[in-house]
Amino acid sequence: MTHILESLTYSIILPAYNEGVRVGDTLAKILAHFKKTGWEAEIIVVNDGSTDDTCEVVRSYAAKNPALRLIDNPGNRGKGYSVRNGVLRARGDVLLFSDADLSSPIEEAGKLFTAIENGSDIAIGSRWLKPELQAHRQPLLRQILGRIFNLALRMILGLNFKDTQCGFKAFSRRAAQSIFPLQQIERWGFDPEILYLAKKFGFSIEEVPVVWSHREGTRINPLRDGLRMFAEVLRIRRNAIRGKYASAQVQTHVL
């Protein structure tokens, strides 16, 4: 392994399930941004049991770009599992996970990195601190259900953020290695869990307004997955009461 790979500044983690149509464009945009900014960075694509050509597309880019790695999950495990799997294998000092469709453009990552460089342990992208930054909003039903879910998080977990579900979050290495080994939610409801753990262990969290655009083709069913996420919030609360989040555990990274 080269010294450059051992001293990376940033890791970009992309969970991907059947993203063959979009992932090539996403990788091209991120790699072009690396070149423009001069970042010492890597991209980790975590394949969550895709049945399309996601892996083939990623491998074609990885063959020409040593900054790109592909990790395979053991089957389809969920977005939360994918993010954790990528984070625990990342080499960067600052780790960011993003949706594979780049709903928030990669150029917005600099806002989160600056927040961490200025002292925050975690920076989370927010669609609702400055709603005018949304180029294309979600359908009205999803907005309403999202506001209801946000209220539930405030009441049940004490998470007083405008937006917990934006798939654009960055972590210092110390925070990531303390939080993600304790994560137990493997599907859509993992965001509240990692923020709950961050708050529990005293990590500073900054909510940062970002440009965002709703992408068609999302796999979330607002009603079915909304109910499942609410059940996962109750599970987080139950885990906390039972002492399953008893202590932060700083882990060494996995290669």
Mean pLDDT of the 43-49 span: 98
What average pLDDT does the segment 231-253 reach? 79
Mean pLDDT of 175-195: 95
- Residues facing residue 41 across a β-bridge: 10
Residue 248 has pLDDT above 70, yes or no: no
- The per-residue pLDDT for 247 is 64
Q: What is the DSSP string of 50-106?
A: -SSSHHHHHHHHHTT-TTEEEEE-SS---HHHHHHHHHTT---SEEEEE-TT-SS-G
- Tell me: pLDDT of 221 over 60: yes
pLDDT given at position 215: 66
Looking at every residue in the chain, the average pLDDT score rounds to 89
Q: What is the CATH number of domain 3-241?
A: 3.90.550.10
Per-residue model confidence (pLDDT) at position 253: 38
**SS3 for 128?**
coil
Domain ranges of the chain: 3-241
Ramachandran quadrant class, 49 (left: phi over 0; alpha: psi -120 to 50; beta: rest): left
> 3-class SS at 97?
strand
- pTM for this structure? 0.88
Query: Which residues share a beta bridge with 14?
Result: 45
Is pLDDT at 75 greater than 90 in this prediction?
Answer: yes
**pLDDT confidence of residue 8:** 67
pLDDT at 205: 98
Least reliable range by pLDDT among 105-109, 129-133, 181-185: 129-133
Q: Which pLDDT score is estimated for 251?
A: 44
With residue 172 as reference, give the H or E element that holds it.
strand 168-172
